[in-house]
Chain A
Amino acid sequence: MSDSAPLTTDHPGQVAAATPPAPGRSRRLSDRGLAVAFTSPALLLLLAMSVFPLLWALYLSFTDYSATRGGPAQFIGLGNYTAILASEQVHLRALTTLIYVLGAVTLQTVLGFAIAYLISRRTHGRGLLTTLFLVPMMLSPVVVGLFWRFMLDAQFGVINSMLGSLGLGQVEWLTGQRTALISLILVDTWQWTPFIMLIALAGLTAVPKYLYEAASIDRASEWFRFRTITLPLVWPLLLIAVLFRAIEAFRLFDLVYILTSGGPGVSTETLSFHVYKVAFLGFNTGTASAYGILMVLVVIVLTQLYLRYLNKLKED
Chain B
Amino acid sequence: MAVSVDEAVSTGPARDRTPPARRFGGRGRSVLEVALLTVLAVVMLFPVLWMIETSIKENRDVYAIPAKFFDFKVTMDHFKDVFAASGGGRSALSVSFLNSFVVAGASTALATVLGVPAAWAYSRFAVKAKKDQLFFILSTRFMPPVVVVIPIFLMYRQVGLIDTKLGLILIYAAFNVPFTIWMMKGFVDEVPAEYEDAAMLDGYTRLQAFWRFTLPLLLPGIAATAVFALIFSWNEFVFAIFLTSSDTVRTAPPAIAGLIGGTTVDWGLVAAASVVFALPVLVFAYLVRRHLIAGVTLGAVRR
Instruction: Name A residues whose Cβ lies closer than 8 Å to a Cβ of B.
Output: 2, 20, 23-24, 27, 30-32, 34-35, 38-39, 41-43, 45-46, 48-54, 56-57, 60, 67, 111, 114-115, 118-123, 126-127, 129-151, 155-156, 158, 161-162, 164-165, 190, 193-195, 198-199, 201-202, 204-207, 209-213, 216, 222, 225, 237, 240-241, 244, 247, 250-251, 253-254, 257-258, 272-273, 275-276, 279-280, 285, 288-289, 291-293, 295-296, 299-300, 302-303, 307, 310
Contact = CB atoms under 8 A, between A and B. Distances in A.
Nearest to B254: A142
Contact of A23 (B121, B137, B181, B203): B203
A279 B145 CA distance: 13
A222 B18 CA distance: 12
A2 to B, nearest CB: 5
Contacts of A204: 13
10 closest A-B pairs by CB: A292-B147, A209-B14, A49-B174, A53-B151, A140-B235, A127-B9, A38-B121, A212-B14, A251-B144, A38-B117
Given A2-B128, A35-B121, A165 B142 contact: no
Contacts of B114: 41-42, 45
Interface stretch (B71-79, B80-88, B212-220, B285-293): B285-293
Contacts of A289: 150-151
B188 to A, nearest CB: 11
Contact of A120 (B7, B12, B20): B12
A32 B130 CA distance: 13
A250 B147 CA distance: 12
A43 B127 CA distance: 13
A132 B128 contact: no
Contacts of A195: 296
Contacts of A54: 143, 148, 151
B270 to A, nearest CB: 6
Contacts of B13: 120, 204-205, 207, 209, 212
A272 B146 contact: yes
Residue with the greatest number of chain B CB neighbours at <10 A, chosen from A143, A204, A300? A143
B148 to A, nearest CB: 6
Contacts of B231: 138
Contacts of B34: 122
B55 to A, nearest CB: 10
Given A57-B151, A165-B66, 20 more contacts: A34-B206, A38-B117, A38-B121, A41-B114, A42-B115, A56-B155, A119-B37, A120-B8, A135-B282, A140-B237, A143-B51, A143-B277, A144-B47, A145-B257, A190-B47, A195-B296, A205-B7, A213-B18, A254-B237, A272-B146
B15 A212 contact: yes
Interface in B12-27: 12-21
A7 to B, nearest CB: 14
Given A39-B118, A142-B257, A303 B207 contact: no
